[in-house]
Amino acid sequence: MFESPDFYQIDDLLTEEHKLIRSSIRDFVKKEISPYIEDWCERAHFPYEIVKKFGDVGAFGPTVPQEYGGGGLDYISYGLIMQEIERGDSGMRSTASVQGSLVMYPIYKFGSEEQKKKFLPKLASGEFLGCFGLTEPDHGSNPSGMVTNFKDMGDHYLLNGAKMWISNSPKADIAVVWAKNEEGRIHGLIVERGMEGFSTPETHGKWSLRASTTGELVFDNVKVPKENLLPGKSGLGAPMMCLDSARYGIAWGAIGAAMDCYDSARRYAKERIQFGKPIGSFQLIQKKLAEMLTEITKAQLLNWKLGKMMDEGKATTPQISMAKRNSVEMALKIAREARQIHGGMGITGEYPMMRHMMNLESVVTYEGTHDIHLLILGADITGIPAFQ
């Protein structure tokens, strides 16, 4: 029943391939996610079988070249895939975007040829699930302060420390972990399930992203083979490049959540009768719907232009921050307004708004909080970083 809002005919800017990709993912979400998502969230259940299904439909690493199992697609395609998956659920999109942008991306960009051939095809197919270890218990918005570290023991590295709020970690086969060497330089290491001293405790009690699995990464004298060090780039800029790719996907994904809430509110406003007529006939309801459509349209245009710049290699971190911050703030407001249009029914699992609203409370914080993205923009505007 979903009708995608396209008030400015943005589809005219898309290729036939873009539309085909969006259609295939939309059908996938309709079949594999939407009928079950309310139950999964209510039970805080991560459906592990979805991992292989994501691999089969090409949701993992769509911009990674085909020779490594990826889709070899452009960034507009990647954005549309994330939009459709998050229209189904933000937790489902988190599973896919972590795999693509935070696990496959660094291995492709910074990994050796052997690492690429060993891990990327299995990650792309969904045979392997991966996670990304940057955030620590005491270092979230300030990742440079991390204390996770590794020492050169001659024939291997010895890794110690902990990461938290890690999507996919309880089920992950590998983790791309960022840690400091003995000189304090940040490097990426591939830590594999089964390595002695490596554990992934699950985080319970979440009221958000309940269909996504979240946990910790704990390293207690983990022996990491030297061939598992990512050789292509070191320093904080390496994980930040990964986060740029993931934040771009979030910017598109949040539009999907907003679209779902808007579409539900529009339908309900035309069907719900009060005072003898549909509530959609009242001025305040029309105002809410008009503002929703306006904000979705603005975000669509912003993201399309950003996608073109990503394809050209011209997009900057502040530009990506603007899109991520804008999309999530817009989606949160639309979820709340749509919930009001549904009245009391809006708090039930019969409609998607409360689930999207709770999910978006995580999305507005992870991979750069709302305020941090404002400061990234502020530093770009003034030339003065406000982080210290």
Query: Token pair for residue 150?
Result: 């590794």
**Rg of the chain over all Cα atoms, to the nearest angstrom:** 21
Q: Is residue 360 a contact partner of residue 255, using CB atoms and an 8 Å limit?
A: no
Decide if 312 is catalytic: no
* Number of neighbours of residue 253 by Cβ within 10 angstroms: 32
Which residues pair with residue 217 across a beta bridge? 163
Query: What are the residue ranges of helices labelled H in the chain?
Result: 16-32, 37-42, 49-57, 75-88, 90-97, 105-110, 113-125, 237-271, 283-311, 317-341, 353-363, 370-382
CA distance 52 to 58: 10
350 membership: H or E segment, kind and range: none
CA distance 277 to 338: 19
- Helix, strand or coil, per DSSP, at residue 45: coil
CA distance 6 to 289: 14
Q: Which of 38, 84, 295, 367 is catalytic?
A: 367
Query: Token pair for residue 69?
Result: 């199992």
> How much of the chain is in helix, strand and coil states, percent to nearest 5?
55, 15, 30
Q: Is residue 224 a contact partner of residue 161, using CB atoms and an 8 Å limit?
A: no
What's the number of CA atoms in the CB half-sphere (13 Å) around residue 233?
Answer: 14
Query: Token pair for residue 48?
Result: 């592990």
Q: Which residues contact 207 (CB under 8 A, 6 or more apart)?
A: 358
Cα torsion for 94, 95, 98, 99, to the nearest 10°?
-160
Q: Please give the DSSP secondary-structure letter assigned to residue 365.
A: T
Which residue, among 366, 328, 58, 89, has the nearest Cα to 203 in the 3D structure? 366
152 membership: H or E segment, kind and range: strand 149-152
Which residues pair with residue 249 across a beta bridge? none
Active-site residue set? 367
